[in-house]
Amino acid sequence: MSAKKPTPADLIQIDFNPGKKDWMDAKIDFEKKRGNWNYQVLPKSAEYVGMPYPRKWSPADEDWKLPDNWQKIIFEGLRDRLDKYRSFKIFMDICVRCGACADKCHFFIGSGDPKNMPVLRAELLRSVYRNDFTAAGKIFGSLAGGRKLTVDVLKEWFYYFFQCTECRRCSVFCPYGIDTAEITMMGRELLDLVGLNIDWIGTPIANCHRTGNHLGVQPHGFKDSIDFAVDDLEDITGVRAEAPINKKGAEILFVIPSADYFGDPHYFGLLGYIALFHEIGLDYTFSAYASEGGNFGLFHSNEMMKRLNGKIYNEAKRLGVKWILGGECGHMWRVLHQYMDTMSGPADFMEEPVSPITGTKFENSKSTKMIHICEFTADLIKHNKIKLDKSRNDQWRVTYHDSCNPARAMGLLDEPRYVINGVCNHFFEMPENTIREQTFCCGSGAGIGTDENFEMRMRGGMPRANAVQYVHEKHNVNLLACICAIDKATLPPLMEYWVPEVEVGAIHELVGNALVMKGEKKDRTDLRGEPFVGTETAGKEEEANV
């Protein structure tokens, strides 16, 4: 029942002129808009984690089976959130609609839908707020920009708040720092209050709550995956590494997004981590309980985020580690950097992180006690603690995609670049308005990377893909490196759609490739099993001889 997939040539016909019709007209034809929205949350998943009003319904239905007092619930929820979040309240009040954010949103650029301008996405909620929560709105109503909360408005919220990836690019340009991600988050929380949510968020949450990870991988499955990776690595390099799980007394707990041990190309990054840790002799452990760094709760509600987040500190405490190392992931790091300590801290049972290899004190995480793998590896490279052969990545001409959350919620910009420059010879930046803090989202973050949402994803990813295309054409770039699990899952189809011939890879895949390991076999290949450039020609000659 999935919609017919449009071709790139269709999608690129974008009309940015919003026309004259007043935007307050809210009606959305979901049937016609298939490919642009996500399926509703399954009642089973919703029930498992106690989301309100679990029921069978579909956005394509006319009747969404809302609870009778849905308006009251929303208003109370709105008031509650206004009292809890200064950000929300201020962002409701001070927007001047200058329009600086308008063409900064990847969904607007890709779709031309005026309501995907961040300002208008926020106005969807703001108009209701004005109508019922401000004096001016109560007196002047629509003259003051107010709008009644109707079912159509609610449906519009559903449509557009699940068409925002909370990437915060607009907030970089806003003169008041208004962060549409905050508004989307509040909008989604409100929708959830009346049981409106999507399955791609609801089910991973339920899985994560139960098994510890979004994919629902149970502990033995997790162990299988890690063991499999260790075997794989031995096949490739001839080196047998250790990858302990739930090891008490390890110095470091290593937390990664679950896609790393199940997804492709994430998996090559996992091989890279294991190889690196083996090479430097790191005393670390995986955890089958804290087997997920990602946190889809972030896309649901703050409460859900906190529920899923708790296990990391719990596990660190139980295992008695000194500090925590986090793998490559985007929104995981938004949670770890900006929320975890506040929600689940203080982490006073651990020590301030110190690299056992270089002795570097990571003062920037002295409270949270969790450092990013790129910070860790950059430090290793800086201190020449690992032997690297850059030419082993010569098959790749690399560009780097700053993942939104590490870039705009963390400021992790130069560390990944430092690592990339340390492990490969050919690195090219995309145009400057598309990288670093101005980076473009993959178009599928924040829980909306589904197949049913394909058209919107391709539209939203278009600005990113276009920038990749630029370096692809100019510098023959063939690898898009990134440090986000969602990126690694959703950029490959995006590349295939817009810029075929560009692969996606983890930074630590490149690290693993370049890493010269002690005792490695002579004919080792890169982590994808391809011979290194240079050795490859020798192999071909042999073939020719045979």
Partner 1 sequence: MLEKAITGDKRYWGWIAFVLMLIGTGAIAYLRQLDQGLTVTGLSRDVSWGFYIAQFTFLVGVAASAVMVVLPYYLHNFKAFSKLTILGEFLAVPSVIMCMLFIVVDMGQPFRVQNVMLYPSLNSPMFWDMMSLSGYLFLNVVIGYMVLSSEKKGIAPPKWIKPFIIISIPWAISIHTVTAFLYSGLAARPFWMTAVLAPRFLASAFAAGPALLILIIFLMRKLTRFDAGKEAIQKLAVIATYAMCINVFLVLMEVFTTFYSGMPEHMHHFEFLYVGLHGNNTLVPWMWLSSALAVVALVLLLTPKFRKKEVILGFACIAVFVSIWIDKGLGMIVAGFTPSQMGEVVDYWPTLNEFMVSIMVWGIGLLIMSLLYKIIFTVRGETKPALEAKEDKKELTVPSN
Partner 2 sequence: MKALYSFFAVIILIALAYLGITADMTTFFGLVLPYIAAAAFIFGVAYRILIWAKSPVPFKITTTCGQQKSLPWIKNSNLESPHTTLGVIGRMALEVLFFRSLFRNTKMSLKDGPKIVYGENKWLWLAGLVFHWSFLIVIIRHLRFFFEPVPEFILLIQSLDGLLEIYVPVLYMTGVALLMSVTYLYLRRALIPQINYISLISDYFPLFLIMAIAITGALMRYTPLRVDIIKVKELAMGLGSFNPVVPEGIGAIFFIHLFLISVLLIYFPMSKLMHMAGIFMSPTRNMKNDNRMKRHINPWNYPVDTHSYEDWEDEFRDVMKEAGLPLEKE
* Residues lying near partner 1 in the complex (CB under 8 A): 381, 414, 417-418, 421-422, 427-429, 431, 470-471, 474-475
| Only segment of 133-141, 194-202, 419-427, 453-461 that touches partner 2 (CB under 8 A) | 133-141
- Distance CA(488)–CA(329), nearest Å, equals 9
Indicate the residue among 263 and 422 with the shorter CB distance to partner 1: 422
Q: Which does 421 bind (CB under 5 to 8 A by kind): partner 1, partner 2, none?
A: partner 1
Q: Are 39 and 198 in contact (CB under 8 A)?
A: yes
315 binds partner 2 (CB under 8 A): yes
Closer CB to partner 1, 110 or 416, in the complex: 416
- CA 408 – CA 218 distance, rounded (Å): 33
- Only one residue has tokens 């300002």, namely 119
Q: How many CB atoms lie within 10 A of CB 94?
A: 12
* One character per residue 16-55, x = contact with partner 2 (rule: CB under 8 A): xxxx---x--------------------------x-----
Strand-pair category, 503-506 with 479-482: parallel
Q: Are 286 and 245 a contacting pair, CB within 8 Å? A: yes
107: contact with partner 2 by CB under 8 A = no
Residues near partner 2 (CB under 8 A), total: 120
Query: 193, 241, 378, 479: which one contacts partner 2 (CB under 8 A)?
Result: 378
The position carrying tokens 């801290």 is 345
Task: List the single partner that 278 binds among partner 2, partner 1, none, CB under 5 to 8 Å by kind.
Answer: none
Query: Do strands 284-285 and 252-255 pair parallel, antiparallel, or not at all (unpaired)?
Result: parallel
Shortest Cβ distance from residue 376 to partner 1 (Å)? 17
Tokens matching residue 489: 């899952």
- Could you tell me the sign of the dihedral formed by the alpha carbons of 389, 395, 398, 404, in that order? negative
d(CA 227, CA 252): 19
DSSP state of 406: I
Under rule CB under 8 A, residue 96 binds partner 2: yes
| Single residue of 164, 172, 252, 448 touching partner 2 by CB under 8 A | 172
Q: Which is nearer to partner 1, 218 or 421 (CB)?
A: 421
Binding partner of residue 48 among partner 1, partner 2, none, CB cut-off 5 to 8 Å per kind: none
Provide the phi-psi class of 176: left if phi over 0, else alpha when psi is between -120 and 50, else beta: alpha
Q: Rounded to the nearest whole angstrom, what is the least distance from the CB of residue 543 to partner 2 in the complex?
A: 40
Q: Which of the choices partner 1, partner 2, none does residue 428 contact, using the CB cut-off of 5 to 8 A by kind?
A: partner 1
Binding mask 400-429 for partner 2 (x = CB under 8 A): -------xxxxxxxxx--x-----------
Residue 517 touches which of partner 2, partner 1, none (CB < 5 to 8 A by kind)?
A: none
Q: In angstroms, rounded to a whole number, what is the distance separating the alpha carbons of residues 135 and 122?
A: 19
Residues numbered 500 to 529 that lie near partner 2 (CB under 8 A) are none
CB of 460 to partner 2, least distance (A): 13
Closer residue to partner 1 (CB): 431 or 529: 431
Asked if 138 is part of the footprint of partner 2 (rule: CB under 8 A), the reply reads: no
Q: Does residue 288 bind partner 2 (CB under 8 A)?
A: yes
As measured in angstroms, the least distance from the Cβ of 399 to partner 1 is: 9
Bond from prior residue into 265 cis (ω within 30 degrees of 0): yes
Q: How far is the CB of 463 from partner 2 (least distance, A)?
A: 6
Q: Virtual CA dihedral for 137, 116, 198, 71, nearest 10 degrees?
A: 10
Instruction: CB nearer to partner 2: give 177 or 529.
Output: 177
* 221 SS3 class: helix
Strand partners, 479: 398, 503
CB of 427 to partner 2, least distance (A): 17
Strands (E), 233-344: 252-255, 284-285, 323-326
d(CA 478, CA 491): 13
| Buried/exposed code over 469-491 (b: 16+ C-beta within 10 A; e: otherwise) | bbbbeebebbbbbbbbbbbbbbb
Residue 218, amino acid: Q
Query: Strand pairing partners for 480?
Result: 399, 504
18 makes contact, choosing from partner 1, partner 2, none, with CB < 5 to 8 Å by partner type, with partner 2
C-alpha span between 443 and 456 (Å, rounded): 8
Closest CB 295 distance from partner 2, rounded Å: 12
Residues of this chain, 173-232, that bind partner 2 according to CB under 8 A: 173-179, 182, 209-212, 218-220, 223-224
370-372 and 398-401: which strand pairing? unpaired
Q: Which stretch binds partner 2 (CB under 8 A): 93-101, 148-156, 448-456, 516-524?
A: 93-101
